[in-house]
């Protein structure tokens, strides 16, 4: 296992849509890499992030992540990121790691130091950094999940945009609490459901079901992240002649489906039980999807670029 890489960027380049040059990177020793205690990313979870798997130096589906990052930044009233320059920033960070067969990269943008704390006299600009983790572990192909109530309705995101339901923010304390909860229940993942009985997403993953010749996932307008790996799975499905659909999915359909998958970071896991009840599953198909995601990047990128999520 190699060392982590930590790379800081400049907000006046990465968050200035008029910037036309190449981004500067500041490489920092992982042990010394830090942010101010006055950073609102720390004090308020006030920031956004994206993360993906790196295979042979390539951050997978990175165009989808950047697209979502821009949407998250808009939801939080952060400056609009310069996606071309951010893309170059992350690819250069990976390049500086040397040959990287398999890793994980995370890009973080915080609101920066609290502007109301003038006495600190630190610059009040967003903090931007990338972390590259070369020791990224394999996940199990088959898992059991539980449903966890999220106490929202399927129209909550529309009614209350200040809840930031579709934004990928640094405020993940409840996601982490949900993770501890499903572990306590002996499961390997959870799926949040609404109070009116619809499927949302996992604390750190998306959900897709297959019913016959058709794969379906909850529509992002229900108040979830638009999963990048879910879009990649839709590429596999479309290229294999399956019908694809974004729709509201009642929780009961998890139990009746021909397959239930959770997914993230370009890896799909086959669900074998929901709330302790066995569900139909298909490890061979799951392996095929994961093989496709690892080997057919050009096909995936072409399909996902021409079928950009809403």
| 137: Cα separation from own chain's centroid | 17
Residues 6+ apart with CB under 8 A from 310: 220, 221, 226, 246
CB of 283 to a copy of itself, least distance (A): 26
Q: Is residue 75 part of the contact set for a copy of itself (CB under 8 A)?
A: yes
Helix 283-295 × helix 297-306 angle, to 10°: 90
Q: Is residue 156 part of the contact set for a copy of itself (CB under 8 A)?
A: yes
Nearer to a copy of itself, 123 or 291 (CB): 123
**Structure-token pair, residue 283:** 């490890």
Alpha carbons 100 and 251: distance in angstroms, whole number: 40
CB of 139 to a copy of itself, least distance (A): 12
CB of 36 to a copy of itself, least distance (A): 6
Q: Is residue 63 part of the contact set for a copy of itself (CB under 8 A)?
A: no
DSSP category for residue 136: P
Q: Is residue 44 part of the contact set for a copy of itself (CB under 8 A)?
A: yes
3-state secondary structure 188-253: CEEEEECCCCEECCCCCCEEEEEECCEEEEECHHHCCCCCHHHHHHHHHHHHCCCEEEEECCECHH
CB of 141 to a copy of itself, least distance (A): 20
Q: Is residue 1 part of the contact set for a copy of itself (CB under 8 A)?
A: yes
Selected from 83, 88, 122, 239, the binder of a copy of itself by CB under 8 A is: 122
Selected from 11, 13, 23, 47, the binder of a copy of itself by CB under 8 A is: 47
Selected from 63, 153, 219, 294, the binder of a copy of itself by CB under 8 A is: 153
Spatial contact of 187 and 145, defined as CB atoms under 8 Å apart: yes
Q: Is residue 181 part of the contact set for a copy of itself (CB under 8 A)?
A: yes
Q: Which residues bind a copy of itself (CB under 8 A)?
A: 1-4, 6, 30-31, 33-47, 49, 75-77, 106, 108, 110, 117-122, 129, 131, 133-135, 148-153, 156, 159-164, 167, 169-178, 180-181, 195
């Amino acid at each position: 296992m190699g060392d982590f890489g930590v790379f800081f960027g400049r907000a006046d380049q990465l968050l200035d849509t008029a910037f036309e040059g190449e981004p500067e990177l500041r490489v920092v020793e992982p042990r010394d890499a830090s942010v101010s205690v006055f950073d609102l990313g720390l004090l308020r979870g006030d920031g956004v992030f994206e993360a993906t798997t790196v295979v042979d130096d390539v951050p997978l589906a990175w165009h989808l992540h950047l697209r979502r990052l821009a949407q998250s930044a808009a939801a939080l009233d952060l400056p609009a990121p310069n996606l071309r320059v951010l893309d170059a920033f992350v690819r250069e960070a990976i390049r500086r790691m040397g040959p990287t067969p398999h890793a994980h990269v995370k890009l973080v943008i915080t609101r920066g130091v609290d502007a109301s704390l003038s006495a600190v006299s630190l610059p009040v600009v967003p903090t931007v950094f990338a972390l590259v983790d070369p020791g990224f572990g394999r996940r199990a192909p088959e898992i059991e999940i539980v449903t966890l109530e999220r106490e929202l309705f399927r129209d909550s995101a529309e009614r209350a945009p200040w809840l930031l339901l579709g934004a990928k923010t640094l405020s993940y304390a409840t996601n982490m609490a949900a993770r501890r909860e499903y572990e306590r229940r002996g499961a390997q993942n959870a799926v949040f459901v609404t109070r009116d009985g619809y499927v949302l997403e996992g604390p750190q993953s998306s959900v897709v079901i297959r019913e016959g010749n058709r794969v379906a996932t909850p529509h992002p307008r229900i108040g979830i992240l638009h999963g990048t790996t879910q879009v990649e799975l839709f590429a596999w499905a479309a290229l294999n002649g399956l019908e694809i659909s974004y729709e509201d999915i009642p929780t009961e359909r998890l139990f009746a489906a021909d397959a239930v998958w959770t997914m993230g970071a370009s890896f799909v896991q086959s669900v074998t039980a929901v709330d302790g009840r066995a569900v139909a599953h298909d490890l061979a198909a799951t392996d095929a999807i994961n093989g496709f995601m690892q080997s057919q990047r050009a096909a995936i990128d072409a399909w996902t670029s021409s079928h950009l999520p809403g």
